[in-house]
Structure 1
């Protein structure tokens, strides 16, 4: 582990103020690692950005590795919490994938540090990296299965389709969310959704 501090088994915040401090540290870590990367980022940089003492850091995290691992899980959760309520408003299963990509593009454009942090996690914490994508694909597979039950998409959709759509979304987010966000997100989502509809849409 890196920058190990005094450990404590239960680091769950016990008060609302404690939760705010922990959230502030995670937000500061996103800035620190997003700008500098994991290896160049530091605990002192995180606490300086968060405006808190070093001791406060060790109240909630054991090390730089620990907060990075928590950050990957937190950012994955933020994507889920941003996208899921919007998908719930979809007209049908195909429209749900359009809204899913559109929402992801919006999130990526306002959290451009997401890609650097997730990509680095493959080498810093492979389990967290894998969990991020496996959990995302599992949600998509469940969504597609429900769409198939309703007759919105082909009845033979499966996990492979979920991973294929997720892979497309990941690279569209990189190209049109992080590298260049000048093209309307609605346009990107519509073009990609046409591919999905032709690929897994309900047979006419």
Structure 2
């Protein structure tokens, strides 16, 4: 049996649950919100349907969130955290950074296939909560750049501007996830990662 995740409410720490039961309820509400916003979008989504999907009373919803915007913001942060916690350990567990890039791309595409609402929710956040949208990408990029710098320090990759590199690799991964995670699953994540990692490792220059 999987151990329930422990989501945090970064924008409203006083509402973060202190008990296991509360964490399970919050997890159910966030998962229900992902389904609701993923299917209907922010403007057509409703608190009543989120509560219904999550199997909780309206009153329980308002224990954790004051409004639809509040849960949407929390959901963006939660999905961003899930991406980081899914991909980063896979990269770091690899024997070297280039192998880690390959494994990380595959892990991200696999995550997207299980969470296809990610793209609609993140894209809508650019208009509903632009600060949350920017934070999502900025925090991932900062962590990515730091890990690239560490890999350079170990002699695993060449020197260069790690911030630019981080954003470039992220941009590639975003569209790979859209194409091969959301739109089409005909190729395995590993097959896609093999091609993309070759581009990261060798570039487009002729041998």
TM-score by length of 2: 0.90
Where does residue 46 of structure 1 map in the other structure?
Answer: 50
In the TM superposition, residue 157 of structure 1 has moved relative to its aligned partner by 3.9
**Post-superposition offset of 1:85:** 2.0
In the alignment, is residue 85 of structure 1 matched against residue 89 of structure 2?
Answer: yes
Kindly report which structure 2 residues correspond to 1:1-204, keeping only aligned pairs within 5 A, or say none: 10-199=14-203
Distance change (3 Å), C-alpha of 1:9 and 1:192: closer
Deviation at 1:78, TM superposition (A): 0.8
**Could you give the per-residue CA deviations for residues 2-60 of structure 1, whole angstroms, max 9, x where no partner exists?**
xxxxxx98212132111111111001000000000000000001001011111101100
**Aligned-partner Cα distance in 1 for 2:108–2:56:** 32
- Structure 1 distance, partners of 2:113, 2:16, is 31
Shift of 1:86: 1.4
Maintained 8 Å contact 2:91/2:97:
no
Question: Which runs of no fewer than 5 residues in structure 1 stay unpaired?
Answer: 1-7, 200-204
SS of match in other structure, 1:52: coil
Contact in 2 for aligned 1:11/1:60 (Cα 8 Å): yes
Moved over 2 A (4+): none
User: Which deviations, in whole Å up to 9, do the C-alpha atoms of 1:91-147 show, x marking residues without a partner?
Assistant: 211111111111000000111011000110000100110011011111111111111
Q: Against the structure 1 CA distance between its residues 78 and 9, is the aligned structure 2 distance closer, same or farther, given a 3 Å change threshold? A: closer
Q: What's the Cα RMSD here? A: 1.5
Q: Residues of 2 paired with 1:84 and 1:162: CA distance? A: 13
Q: TM-score, normalised by structure 1?
A: 0.91
Gaps of 5+ in 2: 1-11
Partner of 2:9: none
Paired positions, count: 193
